[in-house]
Amino acid sequence: MTDCTGDHCVTCADEAVPAVVVRLLDGGLADVDIGDGRLEQVSVALVDTAVGGTVLVHAKEAIGVVT
């Protein structure tokens, strides 16, 4: 997992960024690829997604699905 060192940080960015779901985890969480192979663990509790789906992430929360 990354430590907010890139151009965008899923944890503290002021914008939603697209991310690809790599792995669904227990508790409504998922590992997502935010680009360049960097993974972040985020909540997907508010969206209906699957592995391979693209979600918009803001503050470690998936807030929408990109179709």
Asked if the structure places residue 12 within a domain, the reply is no
Structural domain count of the chain: 1
Report the alpha-carbon distance of residue 25 to residue 7 in Å, rounded. Answer: 26
Asked if the structure places residue 49 within a domain, the reply is yes
The gap from C-alpha 53 to its chain's centroid, in whole angstroms, comes to 10
Task: Give the CATH number for residue 21.
Answer: 2.30.30.140
Q: Is 28 left (phi over 0), alpha (psi -120 to 50) or beta?
A: left
Asked if the structure places residue 6 within a domain, the reply is no
User: Confidence band (pLDDT; 50, 70, 90) for 9?
Assistant: low
Residue type at 41 in one-letter notation = Q
Q: Give 19-59 pLDDT, tens digit per residue.
A: 999 999 999 999 999 988 889 999 999 999 999 999 999 88
Task: Name the residue range of residue 34's domain.
Answer: 17-66
Q: Tokens for 27, please give them.
A: 């508790």
Residue of higher predicted confidence among 4 and 57: 57
pTM of the model as a whole: 0.79
Asked if the structure places residue 61 within a domain, the reply is yes
Q: Which residue, 25, 64, 37, 30, is CA-closest to 48?
A: 64
Asked if the structure places residue 50 within a domain, the reply is yes
Asked if the structure places residue 7 within a domain, the reply is no
Q: Tokens for 59, please give them.
A: 């503050």
Asked if the structure places residue 42 within a domain, the reply is yes
